[in-house]
Amino acid sequence: MAEVEKKEYTLMEGNLLEYPIFSMQKRRVDKTIEEYIWQEKDEVGRVIVERRFKVDCTKGIPNFFDMDVFNAIMRIYVKKSGVYKKNEIHFTVYELMRELSLPVHDGRTVNRVRESLERMAKTNLHFENAFYAEKEKITKIVHLIARIEIYEKQKGNRFINMIKVVLDDELVNSIERKYYKLIDFKIYKALATGIPRRLYEYLEKKKYRKNQFEIEIKKLAKWIGLKTSKPSQLKELIERANDELKEKGIIDNWRYNRKNVIYYFRKSERFKEVEDNLFYLENLTVTFYKSLGQEKVSEVLRREGMVVLQDLIDEGYTREEVAYALGWAVDNIKGIHSIRIIPKVIGQALGEKESKRLVEEREKLEQQKRLEEDRKREEERKRQEELDKIFDRLPKEKQKKLEEKARENLIEQGINPNFILPTLLRLERNRLLEKKKSLVKA
């Protein structure tokens, strides 16, 4: 049987997913405060409660690049869980950039990431009757990042600069109460930066055990941090993001319903939420039939389903494989009406899953190869810089002799003297210098 595929998750606390912390505007604005006010009313239209949410930051409201950086931080948080204190995340700036697939040797990008960290450390989130905790909404002031510290850590014979991000205790407590959502970071990074990524995270929170989700377009724009003065542009931006999410298989479909937009999720999404407990097979059976539109599942269908699924487990299939086959069936077989079809199609379902796994494995190997090449290039760059320093410390006469010897070697190798560029001469000169160093050591 195939192994359960390992996903790359980042973790987002529930309140951070719910509210518009990050602006989706492409241009950075000087605005330092963004406030949202909304009311909840009863059946006759009377206001029951007023809620407020405010973001303030002296360095400007965080934007979608900051959202990417924060997600990468939380990706490292998931990877290193248990290594440090529960509210601390330790990493190098280059480690963070690699998580974001950013060029690690680009000085401007490095500075941009550092500025993002500083901005988030100065961002305060004000929740007035809005912070969800212990089944009620309360008033809290939360720091997006409580504190950032830079320190040195010895690695082998050298010291490296480390960054320590300290999370707000309120966020950590919320995560410990399991009010969070694991986000597939691989899918997140595959989406265009900005609105599609924010919409993906928002819908991941909203689709829990649902086949569809409906929301007013203006309200959706507010909750994902999208602001524009033109209503037509608003719809255009959301449509573009919707189409990308559909193309990537994150949503099954979407459509407008007057002033609202409706998102349809794949029926198999329900199977991801079934708890692994004593009633697992019964829950899978009920989820299967509810995915087909049968809200009331009879005792006869429940028992029959449990027998069918237990037979598959007795044959050697894992629970995860059975759940995957059920989800695959409701998504791919037209006119399906009975769980009895699963033993006939589980082989095909897992075959497609294995094919997908192999493709992802190949992509992962290619990515590892690229990272290894980047590492080797970085090592070579540092080696050449070290040799340059040694060369610069040599007397002028020795420098001249070494460069003459390097030029002679290149000509002997058949290189036209007119084509010997400074970079080529430097590499050959450093090769000779390194050779002399090794002979001295020997």
Contact, 91 vs 153, CB < 8 A? no
Range 191-265 has CATH code 1.10.10: yes
Average pLDDT, the chain: 87
Distances (CA, A) of 27 to 56, 61, 104, 191: 18, 11, 24, 20
Least confident window among 94-98, 149-153, 201-205, 435-439 = 435-439
Q: What is the pLDDT of residue 440?
A: 41
Q: Bigger pLDDT: 270 or 176?
A: 176
Q: What is the pLDDT of residues 350-366, one digit of tens each?
A: 888 877 777 677 777 77
Query: What span, in angstroms and rounded, lies between the C-alpha atoms of 309 and 294?
Result: 19
Domain ranges in the chain are: 1-183, 191-265, 275-391, 394-442
**Strands of the 158-166 sheet, one edge to the other:** 88-91, 158-166, 147-155
* Residue 400 pLDDT exceeds 70: yes
Distance from C-alpha of 434 to C-alpha of 442, rounded to nearest angstrom: 12
pLDDT tens, position by position, 44-79: 888 888 999 999 999 999 999 999 999 999 999 988
pTM above 0.75, yes or no: no
Spatial CB neighbours of 316, under 8 Å, sequence gap ≥ 6: 1
Question: Taking Cα atoms as reference points, which of 179, 137, 141 lies closest to residue 51?
Answer: 137
